[in-house]
Amino acid sequence: MSNKSVVVLDYGFGNVRSAERALAHAGAQVEITRDYDKAMAADGLLVPGVGAFAACMEGLRAARGDWIVGRRLSGGRPVMGICVGMQILFGRGIEHGIEAEGLDEWPGAVEPLRAPVVPHMGWNTVKAPGDSQLFAGLDEGERYYFVHSYAVRTWELEVTNPHVPAPKVTWSTHGEPFVAAVENGPLWATQFHPEKSGDAGARLLRNWLDTL
Amino acid sequence: MTLAVRVIPCLDVDNGRVVKGVNFQNLRDAGDPVEMAKIYGEEGADELTFLDITASSGDRETTYDVVRRTAEQVFIPLTVGGGVRTPEDVDKLLRAGADKVGVNTAAIARPELIREIAERFGSQVLVLSVDARRCTPTPDGASVTPSGYEVTTHGGRRGTGIDAVEWAHRAAELGAGEILLNSMDADGTKDGYDTAMIEAVRKHVTVPVIASGGAGKLTDFAPAVAAGADAVLAASVFHFGDLRIGQVKDALRDAGHPVR
């Protein structure tokens, strides 16, 4: 049991209860709130997200979540985004032809997934870098639960400074390759739902908690 | 990297209790949906579906409690259907811990409900349940609907004259994220899924299709997937212990379909 404290950011667009239960199950002390002091003080901040990109961004800004995430990151405090909570970390989202600005922590666009059957719904495998901490101890054939119609198809951030560790990007494929997870300094994210991914998801959440 | 075929057990829940008989060992309370859900989760179920058949809407609190307790203990997706009539019903189920909500009759009466739910909560929460049957041809040999399949209500007893394939297509356009296609002809027969109907719907929708109705033996599942189903749902064969989730997955794997 990690005994780490995690705040699940409550901005009206996440499956906060599922995230709370899964994190508690993984051993964390969890609170669902949008309180600035609490969100800043927690060992980790988890940003869930369900629904439309633009609506999530609107909700996030209304709850001053954009500010909380930014402040935590500038202090090197861990943040993890899940599903749309990952998508909004990118530069922009394009849904139904409408473009919305994201938090732009990472350059790139969230675009419609081109596959015969969409949403991409169900359990898929991923290809994680060998030195991934998030997927440590998890077999390559392990499956995670995805539910999404939009995805990041191109990873654009290039780190050229040799003193800055390169981001670890994990990929999956549904019709075409897309970003399934990112580990970049204090900012981690998954397109899939670890809180709904059974034992594999629990292990993954513990891996995150262990880094806090 | 290929998406796995999902194997989904469905539990009929009445007033917080599992309706159909169960035949599991090591089950403290065979009538408790939470206990059943845990066992199915441990056996490798990819999702769970609760069909709430509680007659009185006043007893809905029991359902929410069951959903809450299940979501606390089972970390795989949970769909809850039955009696969902308004976006508020959806909101309550999601807050209780459901990941997806099944909508059936209320959407037939008022298709706009699909759009309302999808706009507020996202398409991914909305499973449109279609109870369909083959139409009885009219005396001149013509079928009642263009596809030959018709949407029914009241557990298949009442025809609506609505074309099942067109309805599935329209529902997806309105925002349903998934179609649960239940064959009322095959339901309860254990003679296998209605693969022709699955094929007909698959051709006209691009959202995932869950095959339901007719599963009886291990060899029934692969043909449903070959016909275009993204997931296979069954109830009694699992509850009575005739088939185990793992066996169904082995059978699918042997037939060349990816499983978790």
d(CA A42, CA A153): 32
Place of tokens 């749309």: A84
Are A21 and B6 within 8 A, CB to CB? no
* Contact list, A119 vs chain B (CB under 8 Å): 123-124, 177-178, 207-208
Extents of the domains making up chain B: 7-254
Indicate if A195 belongs to the active site: yes
- pLDDT value, residue B112: 97
The band of A98, judged by pLDDT with boundaries at 50, 70 and 90, is: confident
Residue A204 three-state SS? helix
- What's CA A64's distance to the chain center, in Å? 18
From the list B3, B75, B94, the residue facing A124 with the nearest CB is: B3
d(CA B212, CA B188): 10
For residue B10, list its beta bridge partners. B49
Are B123 and A119 within 8 A, CB to CB? yes
ipTM here: 0.92
CATH 3.40.640.10 fits A5-211, yes or no: no
Terminal alpha carbon distance of chain B? 12
For residue B133, list its beta bridge partners. B150
- The torsion defined by the Cα of A120, A121, A124 and A128, in degrees rounded to 10, comes to 60
Joined tokens for residue B147: 């596809």
Extents of the domains making up chain A: 5-211
Cβ–Cβ < 8 Å for A148, A113? yes
- Best mutation target among A53, A88, A117, A204 (most B Cβ atoms within 10 Å) is A117
Are A119 and B208 within 8 A, CB to CB? yes
Number of residues written out for chain A: 212
Cβ–Cβ < 8 Å for A28, A6? yes
Q: Of the listed B14, B32, B89, B131, which one is catalytic?
A: B131
Instruction: Kindly tell me the sign of the dihedral angle through the C-alpha atoms of B178, B182, B183, B189.
Output: positive
Phi, psi of B200 (to 5 degrees): -60, -40
Joined tokens for residue B28: 């403290």
Are B230 and A122 within 8 A, CB to CB? yes
Residue B256 falls in which region: left (phi positive, over 0), alpha (psi -120 to 50) or beta: left
Query: Number of A:B CB contacts under 8 A?
Result: 93
Q: CB-side exposure of B69: number of CA atoms within 13 Å?
A: 14
10 Å CB burial of residue A140 (0-12, 13-18, 19+) is: exposed
Distance from CA of A18 to the nearest CA of B (A): 7
Distance from CA of A55 to the nearest CA of B (A): 10
* Contact list, B121 vs chain A (CB under 8 Å): 50-51
* Contact list, A174 vs chain B (CB under 8 Å): 1, 3
Q: Of the listed A83, A120, A148, A183, which one is catalytic?
A: A83
d(CA B94, CA A73): 31
pLDDT in tens, chain B (260 residues): 799 999 999 998 988 888 864 545 555 566 889 999 999 999 999 999 999 987 666 678 889 999 999 998 899 999 999 989 999 999 899 889 899 999 999 999 999 999 999 988 889 999 999 999 999 877 777 778 999 999 999 888 889 999 999 999 999 999 999 999 999 999 989 999 999 999 999 999 999 999 999 999 999 999 999 999 999 999 989 988 889 999 999 999 999 999 99
Number of other residues whose CB lies within 10 A of the CB of residue A68 = 24
Indicate if B220 belongs to the active site: no
**Peptide bond preceding B77 in cis form (omega within 30 of 0):** no
Q: Which CATH class is domain B7-254?
A: alpha beta
Helices assigned H by DSSP within A75-170: 84-87
